[in-house]
Amino acid sequence: MHVIPGPPPGPAATPSAAPAQVHTVAALRRIVLPDLAVIEPAGVSSAEVSRIAKVSGVRQVLTLDGAKVMMNGHLVRVIGVNAQQYRSWTPLSTASDQPLWNALASGGFVASAKAQHRLQLHQGTSYSVTGASTVSLRYAGSAPLGIGGIDMVVGAQVSAKLGLVHHVGVLISAPGVGMSKLQREVGAVVGSNANLIPLRAQSPASAPVFTKSGKRPTIYVQLFQESAAMYCPGLPWTVLAAIGQIESGDRANPGVSSAGALGPMQFLPSTWREWGITAFGEPGPPNIMDPYDAVPSAARYLCAAGGATAKGLPRAIFAYNHADWYVNEVLALAKQYAHAYG
């Protein structure tokens, strides 16, 4: 899929041999389920991004830079991202890999498994990458990127050095909108030159509820499903998905809330001390920032508050966040998830 433009013109700089400065990306703080990607070779304008965000049912958008660059004699498709923001949109296994994101923020690059094989990449080795200039980048490793046709990902600073096209792509989360309608309405904004790529995860109707014994869930939908089934039989998985989206996605929460809540499911530390658990084989004590611990803990808390029955569910959601508007919004979004993924 040749949808990203080639290397921008410009003088090539001598690759730097200086070691990359080490940066630490904050722990995963948000959960966003991506539904659609827009790739526009000439770039999506700020006005178009604003219009996409206003399409009915769209809850989150994230812009990406991108272009084709040269590496090892190969033309590769690369996107440039804010590591902390993009992390929340990636598949669960990728988002949970803290060392990977630290390496990306420190000037390294992440590749798809196909690109790793095609380019014969070796983790920890530096490679010359040429766009508007030539830079030396350390290979951080491979991981599912969540977007087909993308070979590698770099951070924002490297993106600027390579001269990647500004806003070449937009990721969209719109859980309550049917895919055909979403594509139609977004397509009307960006025009026929843009490529629209569905990203919605496999629906529970066609996916097994449980992973193989000893295996962790690899996608968020599966994590929500299994957490509900294991820790609160009767609790709709869509309620966990809605809470994850509303608590940390809709509010674009940067970390600690005004009430002191933390992590992708926004637990108060005092509540976490009582209800937080270690699940899915995670090492160490319960980690409030780890979705593999936070989502099952939320299911456990909701169950204790009555969330396993239809009658008790509103009361359980109210216990999670003491506001009637919150109960109504969670239930409405859960219904939208059930419609979109059913």
What is the per-residue pLDDT for 162? 96
Side chain identity at residue 101, one-letter code = W
| Average of per-residue pLDDT across 72-98 | 91
**Fold classification of 220-341 (topology level):** Lysozyme (1.10.530)
CA distance 11 to 132: 7
- Per-residue pLDDT of 96-152, as tens digits, reads 888 999 999 999 999 999 999 999 999 999 999 999 999 999 999 999 998 888 999
The angle formed by the CA atoms of residues 265, 198 and 40, to the nearest 5 degrees, is 110
Look at residues 116, 57, 15 and name the one whose alpha carbon lies nearest to residue 339.
Answer: 57
DSSP symbol at 18:
S
Q: Identify the residue with better confidence: 205 or 156.
A: 156
Residue 168's SS3 state is strand
| Average of per-residue pLDDT across 232-240 | 96
Contacting residues for 311 by C-beta, under 8 A, at least 6 apart: none
Q: Identify the residue with better confidence: 254 or 339.
A: 339
- Count the Cβ atoms, other than its own, within 10 Å of residue 118: 14
Q: Which residues of 120-139 are buried (b: 16+ CB within 10 A; e: fewer)?
A: ebeeeebbebbbbbbbbbbb
What is the pTM (predicted TM-score) of this model? 0.82
| Average of per-residue pLDDT across 252-281 | 80
Look at residues 82, 318, 40, 77 and name the one whose alpha carbon lies nearest to residue 192.
Answer: 40
- Per-residue pLDDT of 270-321, as tens digits, reads 999 999 999 998 888 999 989 999 999 999 999 999 999 999 999 999 999 9
Look at residues 145, 167, 26, 21 and name the one whose alpha carbon lies nearest to residue 92.
Answer: 145
For strands 60-71 and 165-173, give the pairing.
Answer: antiparallel
Q: How confident is the model at residue 182 (pLDDT cuts 50, 70, 90)?
A: very high
Q: Is 2.60.120 the CATH classification of the domain at 36-198?
A: no
7: tokens are 């290397």
The DSSP annotation for 243-272 comes to HHIIIIIIT---SS-TT--BTTTTB-HHHH
In the chain, where are the structural domains located?
Answer: 36-198, 220-341
- Count the Cβ atoms, other than its own, within 10 Å of residue 200: 17
91: tokens are 């598949």
